[in-house]
Amino acid sequence: MITHKELDNGYKYIEIENSHAEAKIALQGAHLFHYQAKGKKPLLWLSELAHFEEGKAIRGGVPICFPWFGPNQYNADLPQHGFARNQLWKLMSAQELADGSTHLQLILTPNKETRAVWDSSFVLMF
């Protein structure tokens, strides 16, 4: 089952539950912040201090760091680990497959905010 969820503050994420596992993926940053195989303990660490707020990175889980990792070597004022983890990604497709697994495809393309810090063409798919 694929469910679109939204917190009280408007923060959007996708919840997946299938015959193999359950997962939660934030649309901001295409950030996997929960994964638990059936009958197992959660696999990912998520800080109790994690904030689910627009424009703030989630502390824990699996972030996408792009186009740099860590501080920007040329400008320390730019976002740590790049901009991709703080951008709203678009869900392109969501499928529940015959083997019981789930396939999502999310995409991020340049916008006004990304061009302000990295004026290059790109297409990120997750």
Q: 22-76: per-residue pLDDT in tens?
A: 999 999 999 999 999 999 999 999 998 888 999 888 999 999 999 999 999 999 9
Q: Give the predicted TM-score (pTM) of the model.
A: 0.90
Domain 2-125 has CATH 3.40.50.300: no
Residue 49: the pLDDT is 87
Q: What's the burial of 59, exposed, middle or buried (CB within 10 Å: 0-12/13-18/19+)? A: middle
Edge-to-edge strand list for the sheet holding 21-26: 2-6, 12-17, 21-26, 31-37
Mean of pLDDT over the chain: 94
* Overall residue count recorded for the chain in this entry: 126
Is 108 in contact with 87 (CB distance < 8 Å)? yes
Furthest CA-CA distance within the chain: 48
Structure confidence by residue, pLDDT tens digits, 105-117:
999 999 999 999 9
